[in-house]
Structure 1
Amino acid sequence: MARIRAGVVIIEDRNVAFIKRVKNNETYYVLPGGGVEYGETFQQTAAREAFEELGVTVQVGPLFATIVDGGEQYYFTANMLCGEFGSGAGEEFARSTSGTYQAVWVPISAIDQVNIYPTSIASLLIEMDSSEMEA
């Protein structure tokens, strides 16, 4: 059974917070997020994962996207409240067999130049940026 996941979309100064992953000689980027634990809401999971993976406390906002790709994934907009970006110390950082994890900012203008999973998130971020630029 596919796991239900939740994560955050944090945008500051036209940059998006991602986790840069290097695993099996592949480099790719994912939004901070992870599996929903028993008793958690999707929003609680998103906030917990932001803290574990980025080292920041966030205020979770509205749902940004629901992705059905090998399981359900819920991504919420979020604003950083406090903490030090890049200081996340979740369990995935300690597992050397899982490759590397690094919190990074990716300019929205460069999203189409890097490998982002799920790919539909990249399209949504570019589309959102384009519509904001026209407004």
Structure 2
Amino acid sequence: MPNLLVNIDVPDVSAAEAFYVRAFGFTAGRRFGGGGVELLGAGVPLYLLQKPVDSPAWPDAPVGRDYRRHWTPVHLDVVVDALEPALARAQVEGATVEGPIRDAVWGRMALLADPWGHGVCILQFKGRGYDELISPA
């Protein structure tokens, strides 16, 4: 079975570590020189990797890294016990809220962007969480 690692490129790894630790309660694990830190506390480790603005993502990339708000189909969902306090902490630490809290049969969700433009959703499950979407057999 494969392992999954989550990597997030940021222009300032120290600032990103402070954000993710204070906003979402991750804890620092291993450090990789001054250019990376492992954050623990989720189902998989989260790696913050320092990459300068405009640096290429691969050799000869047509554009460099851009940390303004951007859309990507891959984002983090942070599951919490209580949505409002988690949302308030994230805002205090620099997250941008991108709409009202949404209610669904499985729970509640707030859409955010971290200070480097990455999408983050805060989820509060209710009942059976996503299993509420499964029809009974």
Larger proportion of strand:
1
Ranked by relative contact order (alpha carbons within 8 Å, sequence separation 6 or more), the top structure is 1
TM-score range, shorter chain: under 0.3
Q: What TM-score, normalized to structure 2? A: 0.25
Larger proportion of helix:
1
Larger Rg: 2
